[in-house]
Amino acid sequence: MLLEIILAFFIGSIPTGYLLNKYSGYGDIRKVGSGNIGATNVLRHSGKLLGLLTLLIDVGKGFLVLVYLHNIYGFGEPEAIFIIGSSVVLGHIFSPWLKFKGGKGVATMLGVILFISMSCSDSNNYCYGYFWMSIDSNIFFITIFSWLMIIFFTKYVALGSVISLTVATIYSFFYIPPLFLFFALMTLLITYKHKDNFERIKNKTEHKISF
């Protein structure tokens, strides 16, 4: 398990936004806007294409790491998903390539949630009353829907991110209880990483996203 943890952490630690921004000729994304390497800051300062690529790759990190390790090692226990999922999200947040100052973990967490959704079936011992193809019992759909609705009505990405993950955490309590602690801890950490955003929202200085 140690090798898988290390692999998940280092794949998660790849600073997508920083690399795309730098090698596309836009410089160091950490020196503009909020200073964050995530998709929102890249979108604001480097355009929609790089913002979208950053989002998709960061989601892909969380999803594909779990898919790959699941296919190789065949893990399916909630404890393994807890550990590997946490490792890839923590790698993104505490990237050693950027002196342990990475992104805020939202997109990579969404990738982990996507894997959990797709791996859930009646045969899984950690999914209760849950079916991947059913919209009303799909934690990924619920999370994305909540995220989009909050952003649409408030224009604040940070608010949408934290509220949607909170919804996912509450949802996991009822449908995926063995992973509730994973959701709770990751949501608390990601909420803490957004503390500056909430301070700016309070002071009405946070940038709003435009569609």
Mean pLDDT by 10 residues, the chain (211 residues): 92 97 94 92 94 97 91 75 95 96 96 89 57 64 95 95 97 91 98 95 90 63
Q: What angle do CA 48, 38, 185 make, to 5 degrees?
A: 140
What's the pLDDT score for residue 122?
47
Residue 172 identity (one-letter amino acid) = S
What's the pLDDT score for residue 75?
63
DSSP conformation class of 204: T
What's the pLDDT score for residue 71?
79
| Whether pTM exceeds 0.75 | yes
What's the pLDDT score for residue 125?
57
What's the pLDDT score for residue 77?
78
Segment 207-211 long-range contacts (CB within 8 Å, at least 24 positions apart) = 207/33, 207/34, 207/44, 208/154, 208/155, 208/156, 209/40, 209/43, 209/44, 209/151, 209/155, 209/156, 209/157, 210/155, 211/152
Distances (CA, A) of 161 to 27, 101, 196: 26, 19, 14
What's the pLDDT score for residue 190?
98
What's the pLDDT score for residue 95?
96
How far apart (Å, rounded) are the C-alpha atoms in residues 15 and 194?
A: 18
